[in-house]
Amino acid sequence: MSEDSKPLVGIVMGSASDWGVMRAAPETLERFGVPHEYRVASAHRTPELATEWARTAADRGLQVVIAAAGGAAHLAGVVAAHTHLPVLGVPLSGWALDGLDALLATVQMPKGVPVGTLAIGKAGAINAALLAIRILALSRPELAEKLRHFHQEETRKVMEIELTMD
Amino acid sequence: MSEDSKPLVGIVMGSASDWGVMRAAPETLERFGVPHEYRVASAHRTPELATEWARTAADRGLQVVIAAAGGAAHLAGVVAAHTHLPVLGVPLSGWALDGLDALLATVQMPKGVPVGTLAIGKAGAINAALLAIRILALSRPELAEKLRHFHQEETRKVMEIELTMD
Amino acid sequence: MSEDSKPLVGIVMGSASDWGVMRAAPETLERFGVPHEYRVASAHRTPELATEWARTAADRGLQVVIAAAGGAAHLAGVVAAHTHLPVLGVPLSGWALDGLDALLATVQMPKGVPVGTLAIGKAGAINAALLAIRILALSRPELAEKLRHFHQEETRKVMEIELTMD
Amino acid sequence: MSEDSKPLVGIVMGSASDWGVMRAAPETLERFGVPHEYRVASAHRTPELATEWARTAADRGLQVVIAAAGGAAHLAGVVAAHTHLPVLGVPLSGWALDGLDALLATVQMPKGVPVGTLAIGKAGAINAALLAIRILALSRPELAEKLRHFHQEETRKVMEIELTMD
Amino acid sequence: MSEDSKPLVGIVMGSASDWGVMRAAPETLERFGVPHEYRVASAHRTPELATEWARTAADRGLQVVIAAAGGAAHLAGVVAAHTHLPVLGVPLSGWALDGLDALLATVQMPKGVPVGTLAIGKAGAINAALLAIRILALSRPELAEKLRHFHQEETRKVMEIELTMD
Amino acid sequence: MSEDSKPLVGIVMGSASDWGVMRAAPETLERFGVPHEYRVASAHRTPELATEWARTAADRGLQVVIAAAGGAAHLAGVVAAHTHLPVLGVPLSGWALDGLDALLATVQMPKGVPVGTLAIGKAGAINAALLAIRILALSRPELAEKLRHFHQEETRKVMEIELTMD
Amino acid sequence: MSEDSKPLVGIVMGSASDWGVMRAAPETLERFGVPHEYRVASAHRTPELATEWARTAADRGLQVVIAAAGGAAHLAGVVAAHTHLPVLGVPLSGWALDGLDALLATVQMPKGVPVGTLAIGKAGAINAALLAIRILALSRPELAEKLRHFHQEETRKVMEIELTMD
Amino acid sequence: MSEDSKPLVGIVMGSASDWGVMRAAPETLERFGVPHEYRVASAHRTPELATEWARTAADRGLQVVIAAAGGAAHLAGVVAAHTHLPVLGVPLSGWALDGLDALLATVQMPKGVPVGTLAIGKAGAINAALLAIRILALSRPELAEKLRHFHQEETRKVMEIELTMD
C-alpha cells in the first residue's frame, strides 16, 4: 500500500491460504498507485470481524471492496450485505470441484444484494483490481489515463509476440 | 407448533417464496409432536436479523436449527457461524441450475464451521426435520419410539404397494 | 428513462428476446431515478454496432455499462474490451444448459479485461442495476441515501412476513 | 480413542484408502476428548458387516455415526437405513469427477432416511467430527464449553494472520 | 408376466412413483415373452426387504436383476452386493439435477461389485430389459432369434420414415 | 488368455493408450480362468475393423463383449449396434472433463441398443470383467463357485484391515 | 429441396423425433437456394444404413454433411469415420441432462476424425446450415453474395428493434 | 508454412501460452503441405487486431480460419462475426473447470453466426486442421488423395498395435 494515502480499495479473503493467489490483486493496485488495504477475515470462523470490517468500510474511506473465498464462498455476499459500497467477488479453487462451488456461491446472489463476480482464481484477482480501478477512474482522470496506458501496453505486448516452431 | 411447549427446533428460510417447499419441515415435526418455530430471515437482505436469530437460538431453548435457501445459499453457513447448536442446511432450487448452486453453497463449508446438508428441495426439508428428530431422540426416548413407529409404517407402506400394468 | 438528464447507465442486450428478463434492470434504475439508456446490440450479428456502442459509451456520458446475453455470451466481454468504464455482465438462460453456458462465457474473462458478473437471469438484471447504483453512489450522496432507504425497506418487508400453515 | 470411556461417535469408511483423509475426523474428536471408534466396512464388499455395524450402533452406546465413502458413495445411506441415530456423511474424491459423484450419492437421499452431509474430503471429515460434537454438546456442558474455546481459538488465529508481500 | 413359467428377470424399483417410467421394462420383456417379476423395495426405507429380495433372487430362479432408483440411487448397488447374478441399473430423474445424481450414484461403483448401468429414465428401462434379453439369449436360441427379428423390425421402421416439410 | 480354450470374453479399446488402465480387465478374467481376447480397434479411425470385430464376435464364440474408450466414447455403442451379445462399456478419462464426456457418451444410449456401463477408469475395467463373469456364471457353476470365493476373500480382506493413528 | 439440382448438403438425424428441431437446417438451406437431402439413419439402430449413407455421400455429389443426434450422440462421429467430406454435428437435447450428453458425445472426438460441432438444438441446426453455406461459398460467389445479404439483413433487423416499457 | 504459396488457413489464438497446445494445428497442416499463417490476437486485449485480422482474412486469400482460446473463449465467435469464411473453434483448458468454460463459450453460438467447434485441447487443435483440410479438399483433389493416405496410415497403425501383458 502506498504509505501516504488512505486506502481506497479494501481486499478481504477467507483464509491465509488464499494469499498466494490473491496477492495478485494488491500487486495490480500497486502498479496503478491505488492505495489499498488487505486482510484475512472469514465469514464463518470470524463472522463478527468480517461484518465489522464490511460495516466500517465506507467510514474508513474505502470506495470498493474485493472479497475472495473458496468452497461455499460466502464472504463476498456477507460483505455486500453489510456495506453499500460496490463489492467485487473472486471465487477461488478450493479442495474439490475446481472452483465451481466458489463460483456459484459467489455469483448466484439473490436480488437485492449484488456481488460483481470475477473469474475463478488469479485471473479473477487481477481483474477485480482492474474493475476497482475502472470504478475509481470515473472520478480520477489520472487513473483513467493509466488505464489507457495499461491497455496500450497490453496491446503492444500481444502484437509483439512471435510464435516459432522450434 | 404445539402450543404448550417451548420450541426445540428452529427453522429459518431466506425468502417467503421458500415456504411452499419448506413447510414440509414443520409439518414433519408436527407429526412427531416436536415443538418448533419458523421464520424468514435473509442472510443478505436482513443480515442482522439472521445473525441475531442464530446468536440467540440456544438461549431461546432451541436444540437444532434448520436453515434453507436457494441460489448462493449462505443462510445455513451464516447461522452456523453464530451458534454452537447443530445446524442442518436445505438447499433449494432457485431460478437456474436446478439447485446445484444452492447445494454447493450449503455443503462446501470450510473446516471449522459444519453444516449438515440434506437433499435439494422438499425431500431435504422433510429429512432435515427427521434428522433433527434423530438428534432430539438421543435424550428423549418417546421420540425414539415414534421414530421406530415411523419407520415401521414406512416399511409397511412400501411392502403393500401393488404395481399393476393397466 | 428520466427525460431531463443524460443517461448514466447504458444497458445492452444481445437479442430482443432478452427484454422480458432484462427490463428488470431499467425498472430498478427508474426506481432510483437514475437516467439510463438501453438497446439491443449483438456481439455476433451486429459486431460493429456493439463495439461502436461500447467505444462511445464514455463520451456519451455513461458511467457504468450493463451487458446481458445468453448462450456463448460474449457481449459483456466485447463491450469491456472497447471501453474503460466498469462493465457488469448478466448471463441469461438460453436454449439449453440452464444458463451455465452464459455464466461461464461471461465470468471467466482472462486477466486484463474485467467483467463484474451478476447472477443468471432476472436476479442478475436487478442486481446489475443495484451494483451500478452502488458505483454511482460513490459520488452522489442522494443515491447513497436512496440505497439506505431501499435496504431498510427490504429489511422491513422481510421482517413483516408472516408464514402460515393453511 | 480415550481408553477409559465407551465410544460416543462411530466412524466408518468404505475403504482403507480413505483413511489418509478420514483420520482427520478421529483426530478432531480426540482434540475434544470425545471417545470414539472407527473401522472400514464397505457397503458393497461387506454389506453384512456394514449393516450389522449400523444396526448395533445404538446398542454399543454410540450417539452419532459418521460414514465416509467415494464414488457411488452408498455407505452413509446404508448406515442411515439401519439405525435411528443421527448419521453424518462425508463424500470423498474418488478416481474421477473430483468428488461430485460421492457428494450427490451421499446428499440426495430420498425422504424418510436423512444423511447430514458435510463437505467433500478432509474439510468434511473435520466438520463431521465438529457437527457430532455440537450434537453431543446438547447434553454435555463441558463439550459446549470446549466448543466455545475452539471457536475463540479459531477467531484468534485468523485475527493474528499477517499477510506480507515478500 | 407369462403365467406358466418361472420369472427369469426380476425388476425392483425404489418407489411406486418410479413405476410410470419403469413399466417400460416389463413391457419390453413381455414383448419377448420373457417371464419376469417386479416390485418396489427401497434400499433406504425397506433395506431388509431389498437385501432379502436380492439374496434370494438366484434361488427364486432369476437370472438377471434390474434395479431402478432416483436421487442418491443406491438400490442397484445394494442389490449387487447381495447377489452374484448380473445386476443392471437404471438411474431415474428425481426431484433435481435432471438425473445426474442417480446416474453417478448408480454407475460409479467401486471395484469388486459391478452394476451395468443403462441410460437415465425410460430409454434405460427399455434397454435394461433388452440387455437382460441379450444375456438370456446366450443360452436360449429362440430369444436370440427374437432379438434378430426385433432389430430387423427396428431397422425397417427407421428406413420407412418419411420426413416432410409441411 | 488361457492357451487351451476359446475366448469367451472379448475386450476392445479405442487406443493403445487405454491399455495401461484397461489391462485390469484381462487380469481380472485371468484370475478367474476365463479365456478371453483383447485388441485395439477405434470406432473412428478403424470403423471397419471395429464393426467387423463386433459382427463376428458371436461366431468366434465370444459370449460377452467389453468396449472401452475415452472422449466422445462411441466404441461400445458401435459394437452394440453390430452384435446381439451383451456389451459392457467402460468410459475412460481422456484429455479433459475428467471422464464425464466418456461416461455420458457411453451410457446415454437411445432405446433399442443397450450398453451396460461401468464406472469411469480402472474400477470400471475390473468391474466389467466381473460383470462378464457374473453373466458367464449363469451357465458355468464353477465360475459361480469362484465368484463366491472371490467375495469371501474380499470380505475377509476388508474385515482384517487395522487402521492405526501413527 | 430445389428440384432441378443435385444435393450439395446431406442432413442425417438419428430419429424421426429430431425432425421438429432439425427441419430448421433444410429450411435455412432452402432460403439460400442450396440443394440438399435429408433423412433419418440411426448410428445404433441402423448402423449399416448410416455408414452406407456416409460412405457414398461424396459419390452422390454431397459437399458437406450435417449429422444430428441426442443422448450418446454417435451419429456425427460415425459419419465422419466413413467419409472425407467435412462433417458438422448438431447435438440435440434428449431425455435428460439438457443436451450436455449429446454435446460432449459429439464434440469430444479423438484426434484424426474431426466433427465441427454447433450449438445444442435449433440454434445449432440453423448454424450448421450456415456453416455449410460458408464452406460452399468458397467456390460459389453467388452464395458468398447471399451470405453478405443475409448478414446485412440480420444487422438491419437488430438495429430496428425498439424496446418499450409497456 | 510452405514458403512459396499464399496461406489458405489462418490460425489465431488468444494468448502466447496457447501455443504449446495449438502448434499441433500448423504441424498437421504442414504434414499435408497446406500453406498457413498463425498469430496471437486476443478478442479482449487486442480487439481491433482480432477483428481486423478476421475482416481481412478472405482478402488475404485465406479459405478457412481456426480460432483457439481458453476461459470465456470469445475469439472464435468474434472472428466469425467479422468474416464469411468458415470458422473452426478450438476450446482450450484454462485455469479452472477443465475446459468446460471454453467449450461452452465457443460452441453455444446464437443462430446466425456459426462456429464449428472441435474437441478441447490438443485433439481439437489437430482436428481443426484436419477439418480445414477436408474443406480445402473439396476443390483440391491432391488434398483428398492425401487424406485417403492419412486415413489408411492411421488404420494401419491401429491394426499393427500389439498389446502385451508384461
For D26-35, what is the mean pLDDT? Answer: 98
Contact B127 D112 (CB under 8 A): yes
B147 backbone dihedrals φ, ψ, rounded to 5°: -60, -45
Query: pLDDT confidence of D1, banded at 50, 70, 90?
Result: very low
Residues 6+ apart with CB under 8 A from A127: A118, A119, C109, C111, C112, C113, C114, C115
Query: Considering CB atoms only, which of F86, F117, F130 is closest to E134?
Result: F86
B12 in helix, strand or coil? strand
List chain A residues with CB under 8 Å of C147: 84
Supply the pLDDT for residue C165: 87
Taking the C-alpha atoms of residue B6 and residue A111, their distance in angstroms, rounded to an integer, is 34
Contact C39 G163 (CB under 8 A): yes
CB G68 within 8 A of CB G103: no
Question: ∠ at Cα E163 (E161, E166), nearest 5°?
Answer: 145
Query: pLDDT confidence of A5, banded at 50, 70, 90?
Result: confident
Supply the pLDDT for residue C4: 56
Taking the C-alpha atoms of residue H52 and residue H40, their distance in angstroms, rounded to an integer, is 13
Touching status, chains H and A (3+ beta-carbon pairs under 8 Å): yes
The grid cell for B84 is: 454452537
Supply the pLDDT for residue H2: 43
Q: Is the pLDDT of residue G125 over 80?
A: yes
List chain E residues with CB under 8 Å of B100: 97
Taking the C-alpha atoms of residue A128 and residue B13, their distance in angstroms, rounded to an integer, is 31
Q: Is the pLDDT of residue G3 over 70?
A: no
Amino acid at E159: M
Contact H159 F45 (CB under 8 A): no
Q: Do the strands D64-70 and B64-70 form a parallel or antiparallel pair, or are they unpaired? A: unpaired
* Chain A interface residues (partner B, CB cutoff 8 A): 14-15, 42-45, 47, 51, 70-74, 77-78, 80-82, 94, 96-97, 100-102, 104-110, 112-113, 115
Contact H163 F23 (CB under 8 A): yes
Contact D158 A72 (CB under 8 A): no
Query: Considering CB atoms only, which of B16, B23, B96 is closest to C98?
Result: B96
* Chain C interface residues (partner A, CB cutoff 8 A): 63, 84-88, 103, 107-120, 122-123, 126-128, 130-131, 134-135, 137-139, 144, 147-148, 151, 154
Supply the pLDDT for residue H4: 56
> pLDDT averaged over chain B?
95
List chain A residues with CB under 8 Å of H19: 163
The grid cell for G19 is: 425432425
Percent of chain D with pLDDT over 90: 94
C-alpha distance from B53 to closest chain D C-alpha (Å): 18
Give start and end residues of each alpha helix (H) in chain D. 19-22, 24-31, 47-55, 75-81, 100-107, 122-137, 141-159
Q: What pLDDT tens digit does each residue of chain B (166 aa) get?
A: 444 589 999 999 999 999 999 999 999 999 999 999 999 999 999 999 999 999 999 999 999 999 999 999 999 999 999 999 999 999 999 888 999 999 999 999 999 999 999 999 999 999 999 999 999 999 999 999 999 999 999 999 999 999 998 7
H113 in helix, strand or coil? coil
Residue with cell 477436408: H134
Taking the C-alpha atoms of residue E109 and residue E111, their distance in angstroms, rounded to an integer, is 7
For H57-70, what is the mean pLDDT? Answer: 98
E40 in helix, strand or coil? strand
Supply the pLDDT for residue G5: 84
Q: Is the pLDDT of residue D61 over 90?
A: yes
Supply the pLDDT for residue G96: 86
Interface residue of G46, G74, G100 to substitute, partner E, most E CBs within 10 Å: G46
pLDDT by residue (tens digit) across H20-37?
999 999 999 999 999 999
Percent of chain H with pLDDT over 70: 98
In this prediction, the residues of chain E whose per-residue pLDDT falls under 70 are: 1-4
The number of CA neighbours under 13 Å toward the Cβ of H119 is 32
CB B104 within 8 A of CB A97: yes
C-alpha distance from H126 to closest chain F C-alpha (Å): 13
Supply the pLDDT for residue E67: 98
Residues 6+ apart with CB under 8 A from D64: D8, D9, D10, D85, D86, D87, D88, D132, D135, D136
List chain B residues with CB under 8 Å of C165: 23, 26-27
* Chain E interface residues (partner F, CB cutoff 8 A): 63, 84-88, 103, 107-120, 122-123, 126-128, 130-131, 134-135, 137-139, 144, 147-148, 151, 154
Contact E135 F131 (CB under 8 A): no
Supply the pLDDT for residue H16: 96
For D87-111, what is the mean pLDDT? Answer: 96
Q: Which chain D residue shows the shortest CA-CA distance from A49?
A: D159
pLDDT by residue (tens digit) across A63-114?
999 999 999 999 999 999 999 999 999 999 988 899 999 999 999 999 999 9
Query: Considering CB atoms only, which of D120, D159, D163 is closest to A38?
Result: D163
Q: How many CB pairs under 8 A join F and H?
A: 46
E124 closest CA partner among F114, G113, C52, A154: F114
Neighboring chains of H (3 or more beta-carbon pairs < 8 A): A, C, F, G
Which helix or strand (DSSP H or E) is residue G11 part of? strand G9-13
> pLDDT averaged over chain F?
95
The grid cell for F104 is: 455420458
E99 closest CA partner among E130, E65, E131, E68: E68
CB C105 within 8 A of CB C89: no
Supply the pLDDT for residue A95: 87
Residues 6+ apart with CB under 8 A from G24: G122, G125, G126, G129
Specify the pTM: 0.97
Residues 6+ apart with CB under 8 A from C36: C1, C7, C8, C9, C10, C11, C26, C29, C30
Interface residue of B100, B163, B165, B166 to substitute, partner E, most E CBs within 10 Å: B163
In this prediction, the residues of chain C whose per-residue pLDDT falls under 70 are: 1-4
Q: Is G149 exposed, middle or buried (0-12, 13-18, 19+ CB in 10 A)?
A: exposed
Q: Which chain F residue shows the shortest CA-CA distance from E82?
A: F151
For D95-114, what is the mean pLDDT? Answer: 96
pLDDT by residue (tens digit) across B83-111?
999 999 999 998 889 999 999 999 999 99
Q: Is the pLDDT of residue H3 over 50?
A: no
Q: What pLDDT tens digit does each residue of chain F (166 aa) get?
A: 444 589 999 999 999 999 999 999 999 999 999 999 999 999 999 999 999 999 999 999 999 999 999 999 999 999 999 999 999 999 999 888 999 999 999 999 999 999 999 999 999 999 999 999 999 999 999 999 999 999 999 999 999 999 998 7
Taking the C-alpha atoms of residue D73 and residue H148, their distance in angstroms, rounded to an integer, is 48
The grid cell for B127 is: 429429512
H13 in helix, strand or coil? strand
The residue ranges of DSSP E strands in A14-144, in sequence order, are: 36-40, 64-70, 87-92, 116-117
pLDDT by residue (tens digit) across E102-117?
999 999 999 999 999 9
Q: So what's the ipTM on this one?
A: 0.96
C-alpha distance from E24 to closest chain D C-alpha (Å): 23
G9 closest CA partner among G141, G152, G150, G140: G140
Contact E163 G98 (CB under 8 A): no
A141 in helix, strand or coil? helix
Supply the pLDDT for residue G4: 56
CB E71 within 8 A of CB D109: yes
| Distances from the Cα of D53 to the Cα of A142, C144, D39, angstroms | 70, 61, 10
Neighboring chains of C (3 or more beta-carbon pairs < 8 A): A, B, G, H
CB B143 within 8 A of CB B129: no
Taking the C-alpha atoms of residue H44 and residue G4, their distance in angstroms, rounded to an integer, is 47
Residues 6+ apart with CB under 8 A from G21: G68, G92, G121, G122, G125
For G12-39, what is the mean pLDDT? Answer: 97
Supply the pLDDT for residue E4: 56
Supply the pLDDT for residue B1: 42
| Distances from the Cα of E56 to the Cα of A130, D61, E63, F56, G163, angstroms | 67, 33, 11, 37, 68
Percent of chain G with pLDDT over 70: 98
Q: Is the pLDDT of residue G101 over 80?
A: yes
What are H90's strand-pairing partners? H68
G85 backbone dihedrals φ, ψ, rounded to 5°: -70, 155
Q: Which chain G residue shows the shortest CA-CA distance from H105?
A: G119
